[in-house]
Chains A and B, each alone.
Chain A
Amino acid sequence: MEIIYVYTRKRSEFGRPCSFSDRPAKVNVDIPPDPSMASDFILRNPVDSYVQHTSDMSEHEVNTERVEVESRGVNHVEGGWPKDINPQEVEQTIRFRKKVEKDEHYVNTITHLGTLMEHCVKQNNAINIYEEYFGEEEVAEVEDEPPSAKTINVISKLTSFFNVLLSKRDPNITKRTATHLSWHPDTCKKLAVAYSSLEFQQNTKDMSFDSYIWDLENPNKPELVLKPSSPLVSLEYNPKDSHVLVGGCYNGQMAYWDTRKGGLPVEVSAVEVSHRDPVYGAIWLQSKTGTECFSASTDGQVLWWDIRKLSEPTETLVLDVTRKGLLENALGAVTLEFEPTMPTKFMVGTEQGIVIACNRKAKTPPEKITSTYSGHHGPVYALARNPFYPKIFLTVGDWTARIWSEETKESSIMWTKYHLSYLTDGCWSTVRPAVFFTTRSDGTLDVWDFLFKQNDPSLSLKVCDEPLSSLRLQDNGCVVGCGSKLGTVTLLEISSGLCTLQRNEKTLATAMFERETKREKILEARHRELRLKERARSEAQETEVEEKPVESPHEVLNRARREFFEVIEVELQRRAQAETQGHGSASVFQVKDRAGEEAAAQGEESQLLKDKEEEEEEKDAA
């Protein structure tokens, strides 16, 4: 047996015990006041100090968690039957019913209720209490209210949505631009938005490729997520079949979806035959099968596809303005425009600022390009035909928006002033021929009504702080959706004054367009004459003298001034003549319409006066 000795000692008992002793106070440092330092200080008088007799408060923020609401249905089962009866058994229920019917109380009640009910039924049959007694009166709309628009919905992707579903992802979801919007053709309650990042090579690894279809009733969660292989730059619903959408991808492929089949594309075009650059424009064509579409991209090609066979395009066109069909000379296409009423013609807006009108049915490829319109300094971001006047179209690019007529190829017939920020997208109103919308890169939406004001937009709304990238009007003309650079889609409802057709609007708009077209034509003709003259003169002079005498700048200036004043005088004389005549002859100027309107206004006034006189006469007679 071993004997083990264990020694234990408390840790606090280690070391020598402390021995405390008292010591008298000892002065260590004594610093006497130094009066010489007083000059470094200033006496502060008065001194502000505050006193408050309240209790201390602290501030806290509380935000309730968003409640996810889901609609579900419940199926009711027949209830209320007494315990001994099984509702599924027909015999038992019939027996029960017969028993009830034999009850005397039942008979009395039903007879009584029956008479009451008959009274009401007969009442209903006799007279319709909701009848319109005064027929539809012509509501004389004198819209004095200023045009306005209000936001009805803002759809933005919440990061919480991503956190819930895909918790592996990086919580900072890189924001992508909403590049294209397309409304559902029938219901207009659904909106398909294509999201992609158009910055060159800015795609980070975690940026999702998805685009969404939103249902307006539920702005928090998209109704369907479309998953292409590369982000979508443009997306369009098929106007004939509202379940089918076609999308153009960032890598140049085309893909089409069927919403009944889910989020993956049904078919994607082969990479070798697709575009080489992002597909900026994709539009459905009017065809019997309803499956044809065409696309344009900055690689200079326009390709036609049949979505049943996306392995190769059915037709191609190279946008070479010199009509040689060379890809090197081709202009990059940024927008595409197609009007279903003119199925063989379409227009392309290019990066170089030129709009090309093309004819699909031309025999040879060079002839496909019918005409070009140049006028913008930068890429033409939007191109739209006026739904009421197919010859008039709107282009939006650089800092202006321009209105063109197909006949005048030299320049636009009307244009806005140069804004401070880029114009990014534009479209015509579907109900009013004189109204169009534009979006700017400072986040403003402008509504232009050029029968009301030509120099400025009639309504300018700041939608958000980031640039707006796309715009789309719903078919009813009242709701417009704008997509921004950070992916937020805002829906605005326009005031009724801007989306109901005014009385003379069509005639006034027609008159205005014709007038401007005429003016441009005259200017074109004059330019042509001048050019011909110059050419003739230079040819004639070349045979005589080698060098043309160069006019000194002074002489040029004097000549220009003289000609200018001559032209003005002639115009003034002509105007005076037109005014005295009272109705316009074939004059191009605004005098025509103004004089016409004045005459109409005077006519109305005299009519009113006459009515008043008649009333007074009647009163006197009575």
Chain B
Amino acid sequence: AEVEETLKRIQAHKGVIATIVVNAEGIPIRTTLDNSTTVQYAGLLHQLTMKARSTVRDIDPQNELTFLRIRSKKHEIMVAPDKEYLLIVIQNPCE
């Protein structure tokens, strides 16, 4: 379906290590990693996204969190939040 296509396209980009789709309860729906790592990412990033969203809202109630990027030494974690689902992509930015 379209979903398949979109996710495959994202995974095919240069430097992308993994893609994870998580629902509102933290259950990974679709993942390209092994289960334990996925569960870890899902749980932790879910909480972080909640926190980030509430932070943005607290500062300005009209505002909304659209995207969250965490750049670390080894790679970059990108989170696209929605009311019900989370799309997480881990990419290695080429340098």
Interface hits, A125-152 → B, CB 8 Å: 125, 128, 130-131
Contact code string A104-132 (vs B, CB < 8 Å = 1, else 0): 01110111111111101110110010110
A111 neighbours in B (Cβ, 8 Å): 2-3, 6
Q: Is A16 an interface residue (CB 8 A)?
A: no
Q: Given A80-B26, A121-B13, A124-B15: A110 and B40 within 8 A (CB)?
A: no
Q: Is the CB of B69 within 8 A of A120?
A: yes
Q: Is the CB of B93 within 8 A of A80?
A: no
Contact of A113 among B29, B30, B82 (CB under 8 A): B82
Q: How far apart are the CA atoms of A80 and B29 in the complex, in Å? A: 12
Interface hits, B36-74 → A, CB 8 Å: 39-40, 43, 66-67, 69, 71
Main SS at interface, chain A: helix
A81 neighbours in B (Cβ, 8 Å): 25, 27
Q: Given A116-B80, A125-B94: A110 and B15 within 8 A (CB)?
A: no
Q: Is B33 an interface residue (CB 8 A)?
A: no
Main SS at interface, chain B: mixed
Contact code string B20-31 (vs A, CB < 8 Å = 1, else 0): 010101110110
Q: Is the CB of A110 within 8 A of B21?
A: yes
Q: Is the CB of A117 within 8 A of B78?
A: yes
Q: Given A109-B82, A111-B2, A121-B91: A76 and B40 within 8 A (CB)?
A: yes
**Least CB separation from A127: chain B residue:** B93
Q: How far apart are the CA atoms of A124 and B67 in the complex, in Å? A: 14
Chain A nearest CB: distance from B65 CB in Å? Answer: 12
Q: Given A78-B39, A109-B85: A125 and B78 within 8 A (CB)?
A: no
Interface size class of A (residues with CB under 8 A): 20 to 34
Q: How far apart are the CA atoms of A122 and B9 in the complex, in Å? A: 12
B95 neighbours in A (Cβ, 8 Å): 128, 130-131
Q: How far apart are the CA atoms of A117 and B13 in the complex, in Å? A: 11
Q: How far apart are the CA atoms of A433 and B43 in the complex, in Å? A: 53
Q: Is the CB of A80 within 8 A of B10?
A: no
Can you name 19 A-B pairs with beta carbons within 8 Å? A96-B27, A100-B29, A106-B3, A109-B82, A109-B84, A109-B85, A110-B3, A112-B82, A113-B85, A114-B6, A117-B10, A117-B80, A121-B10, A121-B13, A121-B89, A124-B15, A125-B13, A128-B93, A128-B94
- Chain B residues near A (Cβ < 8 Å): 1-3, 6-7, 9-10, 13-16, 21, 23, 25-27, 29-30, 39-40, 43, 66-67, 69, 71, 76, 78, 80, 82, 84-85, 87, 89, 91, 93-95
